[in-house]
Structure 1
Amino acid sequence: MTETMIAVIGGSGLYEIDGLQGAEWTTVETPWGPPSDQILTGTLDGIKMAFLPRHGRGHVHSPTEVPYRANIDALKRIGATDVISVSACGSFREEMAPGHFVVVDQFIDRTVAREKSFFGTGCVAHVSVAHPTCPRLGDACETAARDAGITVHRGGTYLAMEGPQFSSMAESKLYREVWGCDVIGMTNMPEAKLAREAELCYASIAMVTDFDSWHPEHGSVDITAIIATLQGNSSNGAEMVRRLPALLGAERADCPHGCDRALDYAILTAPEKRDPAVLAKLDAVAGRVL
């Protein structure tokens, strides 16, 4: 059994966790540079919790410039076992309306300007992201959201775009009508891929703020309307998070879906060919197998 630490990566609109006991902002150093901000740690209902504001307090990092590798490394380094991503998104589906939550289970990665792996020359590894989120963790998030009275949709494909601009109408229609995506955002990639490389269970909760630009009655994304919806989503997101400790418990067994064993057969570089400098940087994310 492993002691549970629930880590929440908060996106636009969610910048803290209320009610933490022994709450303290902690500076964590990583080989990949500083994370987005200090990490807020404490306990909630006796369960260890960590909170990292993805964009930094005051929203200082654009989606492209978020230090994704440092963020995931820092969470792994402090003992996180389960990572809940909470982020704002646009919707491609009438039934996934502003104010609703979507428990994402698939991604299409259209980002182009981000470092997407901890591995590379000196230590090559390939992990599977066929199923990039943890169903066990998704179950807990769905239950917590429903118990909080939130309209939540289980399952959906998240189109990760580079940003920071929103989609053109042509792009929006492509993603919706041809590619069959359900929601669109700018931050879950490469975050989900890196969490898998770090052997962390990862769930993505997409909080719908708008209908993107495909909708005939909502032809463009209005940032003013988004901010208004964000305020309600933020409150609901906090209510969902408050219910997670009771659902996940203080200890957990090995992940039944293998998230915490993703590196078992992933590293291909022969031991004698591995670069010691690279291995030193991988001490937190891959220490179990190195």
Structure 2
Amino acid sequence: MRNWKVTLLMFTMFALVAAGCGTPFHSDDARGGSGKSWEPLQFRQESQNSLPDEVKQRQVEVMQTAGDQFSHTEVNSGDRTYLILALGQRPTGGYSIRINEVVRKGNTIRIHAEEVPPAQDAFTTEAITYPSIVISLVSPKREVKFDYHIRKTGKPKGSSTRNPGSQAVSVDDPNTLKLDAQPEPRLSALPDVVKQKVEELRSRLHGGKAVIHHKDQTYLIIALGQRRSGGYGIALESIQQKDREIHIHARETVPAPNTVTLSALTNPVHVFSLAKPDQPMEFTFHVQTESSPPDGGKIRN
């Protein structure tokens, strides 16, 4: 009888120990599985000078192929993973990308970012730019999926859209009219005849200028010629009409110091449009470039 009681007592103690000292089964969170909530990850924003060469090269490739759409990629180098984000083509300088947070749940890493446009009344270069940013984080120990969420803002705060067909307005000289024009940053949306002329001028070593009339619009094309890197552009200062002459005043803009630019030869071409004149005109371009005085090139309508 005593042996039976001892056996029963030992069995009871064993059962209690097995129930109270942890079970062989754990939740997904305990096993590092899918998890139930997003956890913030530490990351750092990289300066251009600190990037490994393979990351710099990939950044240039992303900027070149982004078009006018948001693009991204990842590059592993050493013990870190570099995330490259590019906004795509923007009509002026002053745009940037802000990383709000990087979070992880299971095997998914999500990046929340937003486009930051130029501040109201900020001074910006009137040239097409390709904003990008590179951040890095400690490389995950297992394979993960990167999920990018970027909030676009559109036009700069306080900006207004100009009507390309707006009427000319008078300036100080009663015989001079100031014409309103707007840049055409999306070359793919231009009429075929304009796109063909753009490609022709882009192929010239020293660039050129052209005036193309299409339907109710007049397109002004300015090609700078070959430049040693990206970041070069054209700032349109004024377009003035006096009698039957139209004068286009513009200047070349150059990359600001420490600006991330394409490390390759480029051939910048910019297109502006305005309402087609009601009568034949003579167009004269005055373009101030980096290495030459203002030049005038007359083009008759």
Into which bin does the TM-score normalised by the smaller protein fall?
A: under 0.3
TM-score (norm 2): 0.24
Structure number, greater radius of gyration: 2
